[in-house]
Structure 1
Amino acid sequence: MPRGEISGRLLTVGMEVRKSEGDAAISHIISTVGQIKEYLARQKEQLDPFNAMLPHRLLPLVKERRERRSGAQSLLDKF
């Protein structure tokens, strides 16, 4: 079973195998990395549009909260 470690933007994948099984291990790791790339590409397809709409969706909420907070602060300032 391959083991991986992520450090920043670097993915290190490896596994311990017998010398006679080295080629099969390399093929397995290459296949696993390919599956990871496919998974990440699918996630990116979903996340990019979601992330792109966040500012438009959140800005009204942020403005509304600021207005409520400002109103509450104004009320406190009267005392």
Structure 2
Amino acid sequence: MSKLLDYLNALDTSAALIQAHKNDALQAARDFGLSVDEQVLILHQDRREISAFLDLPFRDFDAIDTTETYFESWEIASDEQAPFEQEVIA
């Protein structure tokens, strides 16, 4: 099973992870050990993409909205404003 599901479940139970996710979702995902693909999904926060990746029903992902974080391109891009997928590091 994907570690992404473990991460999402931990967001339901761990105040420390919730705070880390709100402060810096990318770093929290890296620290949790998510793969590059999983990190990108966390940053996109698209419930349909996540449910498809996990092969689980979309209706099970209502809770993801409670951990909303927003990223400006300058927060996650390099000096050249590269897409954030290139910034995600395993």
Structure 1 or 2: larger strand share? 1
Task: Flag the structure with larger Rg.
Answer: 1
TM-score range (shorter-chain normalised) is under 0.3
Question: Counting helix residues as a fraction of each chain, which structure ranks higher?
Answer: 1
* TM norm structure 2: 0.19
Structure with higher RCO (Cα < 8 A, 6+ apart): 2
TM-score for the superposition, normalised by structure 1: 0.21
